[in-house]
Amino acid sequence: MRDSLIGLVLAATASSCFNLAIVVQASEARAVPQGHSMRLSLLGQLLRRPRWLAGLALSVVAVPLQTAALMLAPITLVQPADAIGLVVLLIAGSRMLGEPVGRREVLSVGAIFVGVMGVALAGVEHTDAHASTATLVLVLAPLAALALVPYILRGRVPASAIVLGTGLTFALGAFALKLIADAIAGGDWLQVAGWGAAAAVFAILGVNSEMSALQLLPVARVAPVIFAIELVVPVALGPLIGGEAWPTEPAKLLLLLGSLAVTVAGAASLMSSGPVAGVLAAEHEQDAHETPEPLPA
């Protein structure tokens, strides 16, 4: 239990870094012309922006923290623990904009903490084992194909498909970190390199897809969906190919499933609340005064 609690703290810290990065990077994505959407040229444009690079640095710091969390705690706990980092957005909204923290926000934060603690109490054990490489490819390849659909059908898919693809890409990246943690624990450095390369690809595609989605939709509509997918998919893959055993006792299984649902509900409510939506809206208003760069000839 001690290792799981340390993993929970590490995951919450990593999530805090990720959420700070979202706040910093959101306005930068909207300042780039939409002609770069779903193109790797979008990253080229963003890499020229110091604020976006500062957000990227926060995300880079979060990666080893998340990997360390997965070496100590099951992914079934680590992914929900990421919701705790959303409190950073609440604090930012309250302090920057003077938005009051009301009953809804308090209940949302409470739901997140209760949900995460419920997952911890359900007793899913951490393991360094996972399915064979063939099984991993068989299960993960279709998800990767779905994530790539917006790139394959570029310009012919709705914004919601880009959001879905982004969530799947980040979910695959989260599971890749789990596999990296397993490989480190087993001393298999070839596997570390292989899954590390996969995680890097997922990260690049995920960031590019997320920035494209932020050009088309408000952050408050993008972030909750991405978070839900990023939480649910890796957790669902945990017992299927991640080597994790969910409790068989009906009471503990009900506690686990109920706690996961409470965590997602609390996170979605918090993301659409006044303080959080306010700080993201302020970023959007700032972008309205920026002049987009012309598309290259």
pTM: 0.82
User: Does residue 296 carry a pLDDT above 60?
Assistant: no
The first and second tokens of residue 6, run together, are: 């340390």
Cα separation, 237 vs 239, whole angstroms = 6
Cα separation, 83 vs 261, whole angstroms = 12
Average pLDDT on 225-237 reads 91
pLDDT band with cut points at 50, 70 and 90 for residue 29: low
Judged by DSSP in three states, 245 sits in coil
Are 42 and 36 a contacting pair, CB within 8 Å? Answer: yes
**Tokens 């705790």 -> residue:** 84
Which is more confidently placed, 51 or 201?
A: 201
The first and second tokens of residue 99, run together, are: 């938005």
HSE value, Cβ hemisphere, 13 Å, CA-based, for 151: 17
pLDDT band with cut points at 50, 70 and 90 for residue 222: confident
User: Does residue 295 carry a pLDDT above 50?
Assistant: no
Which is more confidently placed, 106 or 18?
A: 106
Question: Amino acid letter at 35?
Answer: G
In this structure, the number of other CB atoms found within 10 A of the CB of residue 22 comes to 23
Are 212 and 162 a contacting pair, CB within 8 Å? Answer: yes
Average pLDDT on 193-212 reads 89
pLDDT at site 21: 78
